[in-house]
Amino acid sequence: MNVVEASGLGKRYGRTWALRDCTLKIPAGHVTALVGPNGAGKSTLLNLAVGLSAASAGAVTVLGGRRSGSPAALDGIAFVAQDTPLYKNLRVADMIYITRSLNRRFDQPYARARLAELGIPPKRKAGKLSGGQQAQLALTLALARRPRLLVLDEPVAMLDPIARHDFMATVLAAATADGVSVLLSSHVLTELERVASYLILLSRGQVRLAGQVDDLLAAHGQPSLEELAMTYLRENVPEVTR
């Protein structure tokens, strides 16, 4: 099964194409890193995949052919948007209540236990938590929905190194222990080295490179994901792979 499948996908804002002619297949069971410089179209692609925005061209399906944004797609995907938006004036317990109410599945014991582990008090208002705690809360709420695909948009951009490490550890645990497929965007390449097994490189609204990290490294003779991405972006090859 492919967790995300796009063909000829494009998104235009006014006259500019934020994403153009994007065709890709992301197989299940991977932590997929979506990398590229700012403005490459990463958020646009993720928003299309989770059904927040509608395509200007082409189509995108998720979780084995479900139309993105359809009830079945929403049911199986948990999305943590950039800057991890939460209702800041609500208490942590209210955020749990709301997320549980808005979904068919919600693993309340997991959410409670995880937040206790993180030392996040249920009575605290979400807005009073540290940046790292807010990100962890948003991630916990997403994982408690027991999704098959977890989509994260720049999850660690605003976090300090320790919070980054903890956050990525939670993501990796979910991926390995529970078999959740993960799609995350980042322009911080070092964070992805440890976790990503599949890579999609975007620049200027187009897919430049897509495939399993090991295969790509071997094929291009690069020692690390970071080196590979940097080389590719510097060379700025206009070729579209796959």
**From 76-84, 129-137, 169-177, 193-201, span contacting another protein (CB under 8 A):** 76-84
- Closer to another protein by Cβ: residue 173 or 218: 173
For residue 130, report the phi and psi dihedrals to the nearest 5 degrees: -70, 165
135, with CB counted inside 10 A (0-12, 13-18, 19+), is buried
Span of 112-120, 145-153, 196-204, 217-225 interacting with another protein by CB under 8 A: 145-153
Among the listed residues 78, 143, 192, 216, the single contact to another protein using CB under 8 A: 78
CB of 219 to another protein, least distance (A): 26
Site for another protein (CB under 8 A): which residue of 10, 36, 41, 51? 51
Task: Tell me which stretch binds another protein (CB under 8 A): 62-70, 161-169, 183-191, 216-224.
Answer: 62-70
Q: Which residue, 8 or 65, has its beta carbon nearer to another protein?
A: 65
Site string for another protein, 3-42 (x = CB under 8 A): -------------------------xx-------------
Q: Which helix (H) or strand (E) holds 163?
A: helix 161-178
CB of 150 to another protein, least distance (A): 11
Helix axes 131-144, 92-101, angle to 10 degrees: 30
Count CB-CB contacts under 10 A for residue 67. 13
All residues at 6 or more sequence positions from 16 whose CB lies less than 8 Å from its CB, including other chains: none
Cβ 71 to another protein shortest distance, Å = 6
Is residue 47 within 8 Å of 60, Cβ to Cβ? no
Taking CA atoms, 26 is separated from 15, 87, 134, 171, 224, in Å, by 29, 32, 28, 18, 21
- Tokens representing 186 are 């980042």
Binding-site size, another protein (CB under 8 A): 44
Residue 26: strand pairing partners:
4
Q: DSSP secondary-structure letter at 126?
A: G
How many other CB atoms sit within 10 Å of the CB of residue 189? 17
**Beta bridge partner(s), residue 183:** 32, 151
Residue with smaller CB distance to another protein, 145 or 164: 145
Please identify, using beta-carbon distances, which residue of 35 and 144 lies nearer to another protein.
144
Please list every residue from 198 through 237 that binds another protein, using CB under 8 A: none
Q: Are 157 and 186 in contact (CB under 8 A)?
A: yes
Pattern of binders to another protein over 100-119, x per CB under 8 A?
-xxxxx--------------
Q: Does 128 bind another protein (CB under 8 A)?
A: no
Name residues whose C-beta falls within 8 Å of residue 222's C-beta, 6 or more positions apart in sequence.
Answer: 216, 228, 231
Binding site for another protein (CB under 8 A): 1, 28-29, 47, 50-54, 63-66, 70-72, 74-75, 77-79, 81-83, 85-90, 94, 97-99, 101-105, 138, 145-146, 148, 179
